[in-house]
């Protein structure tokens, strides 16, 4: 008998659990009975066609959408009933967006400090030290006084990643972090993400970068029409997919 991921997972290692999650907008069922788990150290890639519900799933996990039914739990606790509300939860489960979402009226350094001082209540000296550490890590330390509008897309996204890391999250969610970038800037962002994965950061990444999904993640989820159509290791999904639709999606994708 093969055991499911969940059965082979030590409870202490289980960070996020998505349980019978459904989400509708009006009569449109966008997510239908989604179940999956994120364990400590997992790098999960979510792939699938546009409109399949990937962003809505990530948004439910980040409390940007409220599920119609089912739940998301973080260390066994429903995220809707956790103490401290959304702001406290999002320090643990951070998110990086396709469109960067930096604060345009703040410098690079201020962007990476504000959450630490406002939400984590750190003093400015400590917040600055942590911000500098992560800005160095993503290669953006020389730009601390720049405003977002002065940066390229790749630079903005690296600042957004540093800002998320400065909150010391347990999990980082990425929603197509390279989709808004000019092609020549995709690599610099992916290489930062690859490094984070190698250091053991738990990541959940919606992406069309199939090479990243195949080479960096340990778990791949293929979504179609609001359901998890197939999931498995990169080997299982990319080399030996079981479902016709998975095969079709991948071959259509590779053609482009």
- Interface residues with ligand ADP (CB under 6 A) are 25, 28, 30, 48, 50-56
Helix ranges (H only) for the chain are: 54-61, 85-92, 108-118, 124-137, 153-165, 183-198, 210-215, 234, 244-255
In the complex, the smallest distance separating the C-beta of residue 102 from ligand ADP, rounded to whole angstroms, is: 21
Strands 14-25 and 93-96: unpaired
Establish how many alpha carbons lie within 13 A of residue 217's alpha carbon, considering only the half-sphere containing its beta carbon. 32
Q: Based on the shown chain and the rule CB under 5 A, indicate whether residue 157 belongs to the binding site for Mg ion.
A: no
Nearest distance from C-beta of residue 44 to ligand ADP, angstroms: 15
* Smallest separation (angstroms) from ligand ADP to the CB of 30: 4
Helical packing angle, 153-165 and 124-137, nearest 10°: 130
Q: Which CB sits closer to Mg ion, 53 or 234?
A: 53
CA dist., res. 216 & res. 198, Å (int): 8
Nearer to Mg ion, 45 or 116 (CB): 45
Task: Work out what residue 51 binds among Mg ion, ligand ADP, none; the CB cut-off runs from 5 to 8 Å by kind.
Answer: ligand ADP
Q: Closer to ligand ADP by CB, 50 or 105: give it.
A: 50
Residue 37 or 55 having the CB closest to Mg ion: 55
β-sheet bridge partners, residue 139: none
The residue among 161 and 227 lying less far from ligand ADP, judged by its C-beta, is 227
Residue 56 binding target from ligand ADP, Mg ion, none, CB below 5 to 8 Å by type: ligand ADP
Q: What is the nearest approach in angstroms of Mg ion to the Cβ of residue 51?
A: 8
Based on the shown chain and the rule CB under 5 A, indicate whether residue 45 belongs to the binding site for Mg ion. Answer: no
Distance in angstroms (rounded) separating the CA atoms of residues 138 and 156: 11
Instruction: State the minimum distance, in angstroms, from the CB of residue 95 to Mg ion.
Output: 12
Tell me the three-class secondary structure of 136-185, residue by residue. HHCCCHHHCCCCHHHCCHHHHHHHHHHHHHCCCCCEEEEECCCCCCCHHH
Q: Which is nearer to ligand ADP, 143 or 222 (CB)?
A: 222
> Near Mg ion by CB under 5 A, which window of 55-63, 105-113, 117-125, 182-190?
55-63
Closest approach, Cβ 67 to ligand ADP, in A, equals: 13
The span from the CA of 101 to the CA of 95, in Å, is 10
Q: Does residue 56 touch Mg ion according to CB under 5 A?
A: no
**Residue among 21, 36, 86, 68 nearest 204 (CA):** 36
Greatest alpha-carbon span in the chain = 58
- C-beta of 53 vs 154, nearer to Mg ion: 53
As a whole number of angstroms, the distance between CA 188 and CA 12 comes to: 34
* Contact flag: residue 55 with Mg ion (CB under 5 A): yes
Binding site for Mg ion (CB under 5 A): 55
């Amino acid at each position: 008998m093969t055991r499911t991921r969940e059965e082979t997972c030590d409870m202490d290692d289980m960070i996020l659990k998505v349980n019978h999650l459904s989400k509708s907008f009006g009569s449109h069922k966008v997510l239908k009975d989604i179940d999956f788990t994120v364990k400590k150290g997992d790098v999960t890639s979510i792939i699938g066609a546009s409109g399949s519900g990937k962003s809505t799933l990530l948004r439910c996990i980040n409390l940007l959408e409220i599920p119609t039914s089912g739940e998301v739990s973080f260390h066994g606790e429903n995220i809707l009933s956790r103490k401290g509300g959304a702001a406290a939860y999002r320090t643990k489960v951070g998110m990086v967006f396709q469109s960067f979402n930096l604060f345009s009226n703040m410098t690079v350094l201020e962007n990476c400090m504000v959450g630490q001082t406002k939400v984590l209540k750190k003093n400015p000296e400590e917040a600055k030290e942590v911000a500098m550490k992560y800005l160095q890590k993503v290669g953006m330390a020389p730009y601390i006084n720049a405003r977002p509008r002065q940066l390229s897309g790749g630079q903005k996204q690296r600042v957004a990643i540093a800002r998320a890391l400065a909150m010391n999250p347990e999990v980082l969610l990425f929603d197509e972090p390279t989709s808004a970038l000019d092609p020549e800037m995709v690599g610099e962002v992916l290489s930062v993400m690859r490094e984070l994965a190698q250091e053991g950061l738990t990541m959940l990444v919606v992406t069309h970068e199939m090479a990243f999904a195949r080479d960096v993640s340990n778990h791949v989820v293929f979504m179609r029409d609001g359901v998890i159509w197939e999931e498995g290791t990169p080997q299982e999904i990319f080399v030996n997919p079981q479902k016709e639709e998975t095969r079709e999606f991948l071959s259509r994708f590779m053609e482009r």
